[in-house]
Chain A
Amino acid sequence: MKLNHEEFVALLARALELDEKEASEALNTWVDAVTREMEENGSCEVEVLGTFRKAEDGSMEFSPNDILALEVNYKFAGLSPIEVSPPTSDPDTATGGAEDKTPTEADATEKDEDEREEAEADNEADTAGEKRTPEEESADADSSDDPFGIDGYRPSGEQDEEEYDEDGQVDDHPEEPDEELEPGTERDRQRREEDPGPEQQDPDLESTEEWDERREDEEPVVGEDEAKSEWEPDYEPEPEDEPDYEPEREPEPEPELADSEQGEEQDRSGSYGMPKLSLSQKLKPRGGASKNRRRSVSDKIAWLIPIAALLIVAVLLFFHFDGLRLSRTHIDDQPVVRQEMPVPAPRDDREQEEAVQEFVPSPDPVEDVVPPPDMDLAPERVDDVGAEPADDLIRDMALPYGLKGPEDEVLIGSYTIVVHSLRNERKSEIEKQRLEAQGFKATQWSAVLPSGNTTYRVGIGQFQSVSDAERAVEELPEPFRSNNFIIRIR
């Protein structure tokens, strides 16, 4: 229906109860006001109608009001885009394809359309039809994250982001080691600060401290070298509590004594870098209580080392043999359990199948142990194992796909061709019956639009894929062939 300026003025005059001249003046005034406001502010919004904007090239653009756009598009309201093929692994190639197929302007328009359709679909999702309502079901699946209503085909990037967002624990975990590490580093720092020198690394700390104190008091000059000599218990002679033995021992290492004395002299003169301790130094009678104490300390260490080693060996042996004993017990117990368990050991599929087949008819008392669900599962597994591609084909052929034939079963997830979208239920029912009379699989359902209006849609055929549906469209008679749309049944 076309309405030129004069006809529009006539309608306006009738609505405003004015004569046509006054209505024309009023219309011109309104047009001038809109144009002026757009020039001044860049845009002018008119309620119910939409917004006029000044484009970059100076021309006028118009964006219709959302409600108006929806009402105009009532036939297709609630329809969501259908994903025909999932995202490719190589986005670069895909981008190239996109550039080839769609111009940028078309993309922008389509994005706007998408948003509008999504909004429609979301609203429509609240209302339900009695029969199948594909647009409703597609709207159910619509969400801000999944605008196309296809759960399994989200882009990997989005999926990853969500996974990371949801997986808060994954993000939190790296912080835990940090928290654990920080005290550790503090501890290390404290240790480093407290650590006075390498001497404290010795296991016998108390005796060392005692010794250090006394050494400082008694032998301030050669203390370090001698202190080191104290930590070589292997070279220590017998306890010298009785000084009578000492003169007897002195002559024994005489050659070494001479050497070591020479060495000492060399050390003092600075000819060697590191002072070397000799047995003579250790054997040299120094006398006094401090020496006795040193020896008692070294004796303790000499005794402690083999004891500790024995203890470690004993503990290791204990655990070793205990573990063996336990595992042996466990292994011994296993056969009893296995006898009660009828489940065959894991084998390859064929063996499993044979085992199941053998197992099912056997009147063995073990059967009683088998819970009935397992028995039910066994044949299924056998079927799966033995399924041939031909079986799948036969099963697919048995499904009620196609353009013609009785509509025995509505296949959720399949596609259908909508050929009627009517506001009158009776008319849609008549159209459905007419299509059925022509041999088509025809289905009628209702869809409540966001505006509250109900539209009745009639679809024909059920198809496994969009391409199947598109091929079927080519077979349709006019006017359906040129005026239809494909939707997914949800």
Chain B
Amino acid sequence: MTDKNTESEIATILAAQLKEHGRIQINGLGTFSVEHRKQEQHQEKDGRIIMKPPADLIVFTPEK
């Protein structure tokens, strides 16, 4: 396993970039990004219609 300090720094940089809604590409791993999901309505199984609030979500796309 890599040095804990290195891992911590990598994670800190990644988190800081994601908080700024940045997109980070790491070779050999993949790409981290933030996507906005609009509010949307959907129907539950019991029939009620729920409108989900919007959200900014972290998305990871693995490298192929």
Contacts and interface: CB of A to CB of B under 8 A. Distances in A.
A94 B25 contact: no
B52 A110 contact: yes
Contact of B17 (A1, A75, A102, A157): A1
A35 to B, nearest CB: 8
Interface residues of B, number: 52
B29 to A, nearest CB: 5
User: Interface SS of chain B: helix, strand, loop or mixed?
Assistant: mixed
A91 B26 CA distance: 47
A84 B51 contact: yes
Contacts of A3: 17, 22-25
Interface string A137-173: 0000000000010000101110000000000000000
Interface in A57-108: 59-62, 64-65, 68-69, 71-76, 79-91, 93-95, 97-98, 101-102, 106-107
A26 B2 contact: yes
Interface in B13-31: 13-15, 17-30
B7 A83 contact: no
Contacts of B7: 30, 46-47
Contacts of A4: 25
Given A1-B21, A71-B19, A81-B53, A102 B42 contact: yes
User: Interface SS of chain A: helix, strand, loop or mixed?
Assistant: helix
A37 B2 CA distance: 11
A88 B20 contact: no
Given A49-B15, A87-B48, A73 B57 contact: yes
Given A27-B10, A48-B8, A153 B19 contact: no
Residue picked from A33, A64, A79, A95, most chain B C-beta under 10 Å:
A64
A69 B12 contact: no
B15 A48 contact: yes
Contacts of B1: 33, 37
A79 B56 CA distance: 12
A452 to B, nearest CB: 14
Contact of B26 (A15, A27, A98): A27
Nearest to B48: A87
A466 B32 CA distance: 34
A170 to B, nearest CB: 24
30 contacts: A1-B21, A1-B22, A1-B23, A2-B23, A8-B24, A12-B13, A29-B2, A29-B6, A37-B1, A65-B15, A71-B15, A72-B56, A73-B56, A76-B54, A83-B51, A85-B48, A87-B48, A91-B45, A94-B44, A94-B45, A94-B47, A94-B48, A95-B45, A107-B42, A110-B42, A110-B52, A113-B55, A466-B51, A485-B39, A485-B53
